[in-house]
Amino acid sequence: MSRGSRGSPRRLQRPGPRARGAARLACVHGVPGVQPRRRHRRRQPDDWRLSHEKPSEDCDEAELDPKYRQSVKCKIFLGFTSNLVSSGIRDIIRFLAQHHMVDVIVTTAGGIEEDLIKCLAPTYRGDFSLPGALLRSKGLNRIGNLLVPNDNYCKFENWIMPLFDQMLFEQSTENVWTPSKVIARLGKEINDESSYLYWAYKNNIPVYCPALTDGSLGDMLFCHAVRNPGLIIDIVQDIRLMNGEAIHATPRKTGIIVLGGGLPKHHICNANMFRSGADYAVYINTAQEFDGSDSGAQPDEAVSWGKIKGSAKPVKVHCDASIAFPLVVAATFARKVHGSK
């Protein structure tokens, strides 16, 4: 509101279409004293190339080659919790592994076994509110609003136990297994194109799981150890490999994408601490800081530990990852495969 010459209120008038059109033309064609606004698109991790940076003073001769610099991409670490593999996000992860759009994967034991079990038997849609006692009586296990029959785990046991026997035999003649070696072998043996582990094996994408025993896989390892003891899975070799993924990434930049939180989130961030922090970071989860877990920690907390660079512009998306992540992939990675369709 403003006042006229007599002090009476007068409502401000909104510019008409012609005035607004003239303002737009001024921005486009340039009018004295009027500067057109420029929109700067923030460079995304999947866009970055070494050629975007000035060569460092101590770089070797190979790093000065323009073709080499254009070929060097950002190293992307993808982490996710098991429920995302139980859900339809498994197919998004499979797409990324199939087209080698991520370089390192970190997940939980459930993120491994759920991928394999889905190759052997179906998971069904249920409801979040189904009574637990009723489901138990029918041999159904609930994962959120999904249902997994007990029989699925029986099929999983029948499939994996002979593999553990073979791994035990190979251990005595070759070398000790690590979680990532076990996972690669399972991806090879499942031989199913719907599996992200199969594509990770095919494309030599390492999959790390430092808590391999925390799930049905652990149950299978326990039963196998009782029946046929001796199989050794060395986590120390894997922590060297995982941290090395970050330490030896140079001259590449590193980017973090974390769906959910917990172990995958911290394992990836902690590895990047050994290179003074990741250059890019995107968290997608609904966890809050008052949860008292690492899942709810904001990216800036990781900056304080040196897990994300202070110069980075990390983002936390407060959203269900099963909603947000397909949209993110459609707008970024998928465009490189399918174009702008």
- Active-site choice (307, 316, 336, 341): 307
Whether the pLDDT of residue 324 is over 90: the answer is yes
Quick check: is 307 catalytic?
Answer: yes
DSSP conformation letters of 77-115: EEEE-HHHHHSTHHHHHHHHHHTT--SEEEE-HHHHHHH
Between these two residues, 315 and 59, which has the higher pLDDT value? Answer: 315
Position 290 scores a pLDDT of 87
Q: 60-122+151-339 architecture in CATH?
A: 3-Layer(aba) Sandwich (3.40)
Half-sphere exposure of 290 (CA within 13 A, CB side): 0
- Between 6-10, 191-195, 231-235, 302-306, the lowest mean confidence (pLDDT) is in 6-10
Structure confidence by residue, pLDDT tens digits, 99-124: 999 999 999 999 999 999 999 999 99
CA distances from 232 to 177, 247, 269 (A): 6, 27, 27
In the chain, the largest separation of any two C-alpha atoms, in whole Å, equals 100
| pTM passes above 0.75 | yes
Structure confidence by residue, pLDDT tens digits, 258-276: 999 999 999 999 999 999 9
Q: CA nearest 252: which of 70, 44, 50? A: 50
Whether the pLDDT of residue 246 is over 70: the answer is yes
DSSP conformation letters of 300-311: HHHHHHTSB-TT
H or E element: which one contains 140? strand 140-143
